[in-house]
Amino acid sequence: MNKTLLALLLAFGVSAVQAEGIVGKWKTIDDETGKARSIVSISEVNGQYQGKIVELMPNVPNKCPGCDGSSKTFGVAKDGPIVGMTILRNLKADGDKYSGGSVFDPKSGKTYKGSAKLSGDGQKLVLRGYVGVGVLSVGRSQTWQRIE
């Protein structure tokens, strides 16, 4: 294969991934342990992005310790199933950044403001959950990996 054709194929592949934005499946990596925890499927609904847990890694219990059945925990009962839970809601695109949404943490049962940034090659998503505004915000970030 000649170099020009290879370069075109590689450029088209990166452009196709960037065009789909954050839609697709992502492996979540715990920011505290560095270990993969779940697979989240992100979809677009009416211009907003939602993320649902579709699979857990082996040895990760399918129980929501932070849930209590209230609307703030999306109606999931204590120790209710995590698989099928929507943990990312209402993100809106702005170029390679996404903002205005919320992120739910099943461990703590807390919902945070959410934002995300897609890497240039479209293979990593840095998701941030935070409280506060601007430089006064406090939160955590996780880097998720795209699953082909």
* Rounded mean pLDDT for each run of 10 residues along the chain, 148 residues in total: 42 46 95 93 96 96 89 80 94 91 89 93 94 76 93
Instruction: Round to whole Å and give the CA distance between 91 and 51.
Output: 9
Rounded Cα distance, 55 and 38, in Å = 6
The token pair that represents 19 in the structure block:
């065009």
Instruction: Answer for the pair 50, 42: CB distance below 8 angstroms, yes or no.
Output: yes
Confidence at residue 20, expressed as pLDDT on a 0 to 100 scale = 74
pLDDT on residue 19: 52
Residue 117 confidence (pLDDT): 96
SS (H, E, C) the chain: CCHHHHHHHHHHHHHHHHHHCCCEEEEEECCCCCCEEEEEEEEEECCEEEEEEEEECCCCCCCECCCCCCHHHCCCCCCECCCCCEEEEEEEEECCEEEEEEEEECCCCEEEEEEEEECCCCCEEEEEEEECCHHHCEEEEEEEEEEC
Model's pTM, two decimal places?
0.82
